[in-house]
Amino acid sequence: MLARDILATQPHLTFTIYDETALALRRVTGLGFQQVLTAGQLVVHALRILGVYLIARGLRLSTAWSLLVAAIFSLGASVVGAGNTTIELEPVPRTFSFPLIILAMGLIAHGRDLAAATLASIALLYHPPTVYPFWAVYLCLALWPADPAIRKRRLWGFAPLFCAVALLLLSAHCQPGAAERQALFSRLDPFQVELQRKVAMFVWVSMWPLRWFEHQLFLWVAALVACWRIKEFAGRDLKFVLFGFPIVGMLSMPASYLLLEKLRWSFISQFEPMRALVFLPIVVIIAGAAAAMRAIAKGRYVEGFLWFVLVFAIPIEPRVLHILWPRPSAPLMVRRALIVLLLAFCAGLAVWAETRRIRGSRLMLATAALLPFFLLPFFGKVNRYQVWNTAELARLAAWARTSTANDAVFLFPDADLEPYPGIFRATALRAVYVDWRSGLQAKTFKEFGEEWWSRWQKTMAAPFNPRHLERYQGLGIDYLAVQSDDRVPGATAVYENSKFIVYRLKY
């Protein structure tokens, strides 16, 4: 069905078992991909919460306080510059890999090195770039001087890693369908550099604005200070985790600059080492919440309140400094800042009541844990993930799937940079001639990037003009799907709803 779609014929998941696992689950359960992937997301999200809870317990927080930390973490946070989040809503490979790393961090906090390494090895099979910070920290931990029994226990953790690497290489060798091999040990040519700077600016640190660096530096300092404040409550293994991950995250920026922008190593743009920056907000939230609770328990109420302010600011606004010092001319930021202050006060009051064993303190903790899930979306207008899979798009996909040829090719000429053509491809099982999001695969395949850019220039670079359809003739496009505002004068639509109009191109 997608034989004429360049994205579907250039699979970029060679070095992952994502495809194989999804296919196996579909065959075993008899369910569709959406059902099995959604179920998997629910499972790994639960494992992520368990991991945060174990880390909090490793800091010797009570059960109630640890649950509050896990609840705050579950609010999620976007990572400025790196292009990822602490909680992924799309069922992509890192969605299944990242929660296993969080759980592995929690297991290390309790001395379960082999179990943690096994989970990290499974995570490697799903998405290797997500896992490298864990193994960098774990290697330092394993080499650190310790009793022979402890060192032996840590070294055994590399056994599942070697097995996972072997399985990954075998799977990559046997995987069919790749029309172009990934160039892992080559240098980017000038065209690739220019193209990647257009479609994947976040990978090129030299293109970042100064405020992104300020944000990352602020989070890094906050993470280290928070870890320092609670270091007496963490064991040696957990100290390695809490201090090590932010350090790896910060080092990923100069490493990416050197290896990608100076040496032009093609593998780096595919690997995206700066995704390790996701561990900065993670450590700030966990260690900051723990520091707030410890400060309040010791009577340092102002310090505890300030830590909670920072902890709640991260989920509500990716650019934390904008909400900590909001401009009066930005009313939404002022409103969000007030919500952060309210949430910090409620959490601080609940922790204080728990330390004083005041009646109803557990109810106050539960309220502090659940209140953000209502305040942030309704009053803070926090909508981190815009819903593109609308009812109109679903009806268009259903029509295309039942009323057009299997090998039909669609183009959304007025979609610009929006992602909904890709959703149409997945739900309608019809080829899309070109769309912006598929251009990200230019980081993986050189020939794909050249073909994608050629198609984009022919059809999408100039604004859509409904009076001039001749530019789309002779390209192998069967249908144009435009938004209702871009109706083509004098043309007869083959399908129409309140959002989309479809025209059949004549050859």
- For residues 110 and 336, what is the distance between their CA atoms, to the nearest angstrom? 37
- Using DSSP's 3-state secondary structure scheme, residue 203 falls into helix
* C-alpha pair distances (Å), 266 with each of 252, 255, 272, 466, 476: 16, 14, 10, 39, 31
Residue 56 has pLDDT above 70, yes or no: yes
Joined tokens for residue 410: 């669609």
Residues with Cβ < 8 Å from 116, sequence gap 6 or more?
A: 103, 104, 105, 107, 108, 138, 157
> pLDDT at position 382, please?
80
Task: Find where tokens 């909090």 sit.
Answer: 56
Q: 168-208 pLDDT, tens per residue?
A: 888 776 666 555 566 678 899 999 999 999 988 889 999 99
Which segment of 168-182, 244-258, 370-384, 481-495 scores lowest on mean pLDDT?
168-182
- For residues 121 and 139, what is the distance between their CA atoms, to the nearest angstrom? 14
Q: 143-170 pLDDT, tens per residue?
A: 998 888 888 889 999 999 999 999 888 8
> pLDDT at position 132, please?
95
Residue 387 has pLDDT above 70, yes or no: no
> pLDDT at position 445, please?
85
Report the alpha-carbon angle 409-411-417, nearest 5: 140
CA count, 13 A, side-chain hemisphere, 381: 8
What confidence tier does 48 reach under pLDDT thresholds 50, 70, 90? very high
What confidence tier does 90 reach under pLDDT thresholds 50, 70, 90? confident
Q: What is the radius of gyration, based on Cα positions, of the chain?
A: 25
Q: Fill in the DSSP letter of residue 257.
A: I
- Using DSSP's 3-state secondary structure scheme, residue 409 falls into strand
Select the more confidently predicted residue: 185 or 35. Answer: 35
- Beta bridge pairs of residue 340: none
**Which amino acid, residue 475?**
L
Joined tokens for residue 121: 């090895």
* Average pLDDT score over residue span 285-311: 96
Residue 505 has pLDDT above 60, yes or no: yes
* Average pLDDT score over residue span 94-107: 95
> pLDDT at position 4, please?
85
> pLDDT at position 180, please?
56
CB contact burial 413-423 (16+ within 10 A = b; e otherwise): bbbeebbbbbb
Q: 52 and 279 in contact (C-beta within 8 Å)?
A: no
* Average pLDDT score over residue span 254-269: 93
Q: 388 and 419 in contact (C-beta within 8 Å)?
A: yes
**pTM as predicted:** 0.91
CA count, 13 A, side-chain hemisphere, 55: 34
What confidence tier does 496 reach under pLDDT thresholds 50, 70, 90? very high
> pLDDT at position 477, please?
93
Closest-CA residue to 444 (of 235, 232, 239, 269)? 269
> pLDDT at position 201, please?
87
* Average pLDDT score over residue span 371-376: 92
What residues does each domain of the chain span? Answer: 18-378, 391-504
- Beta bridge pairs of residue 278: none
CA count, 13 A, side-chain hemisphere, 144: 15
> pLDDT at position 83, please?
73
Report the alpha-carbon angle 242-246-248, nearest 5: 115
Task: Find where tokens 């300030």 sit.
Answer: 306
Neighbour count for residue 405 (Cβ, 10 Å): 10
> pLDDT at position 507, please?
59
Q: With left for phi above 0 and alpha for psi between -120 and 50, is residue 353 left, alpha or beta? A: alpha
- For residues 271 and 129, what is the distance between their CA atoms, to the nearest angstrom? 6
* Average pLDDT score over residue span 284-302: 96
Q: Fill in the DSSP letter of residue 467.
A: T
For strands 495-496 and 500-504, give the pairing. Answer: antiparallel
Q: Tell me what the pLDDT averaged over the chain comes to.
A: 90
Q: 328-341 pLDDT, tens per residue?
A: 767 888 888 899 99
Residue 443 has pLDDT above 80, yes or no: yes
> pLDDT at position 259, please?
95
Q: 216-255 pLDDT, tens per residue?
A: 999 999 999 999 999 999 998 999 999 999 999 999 999 9
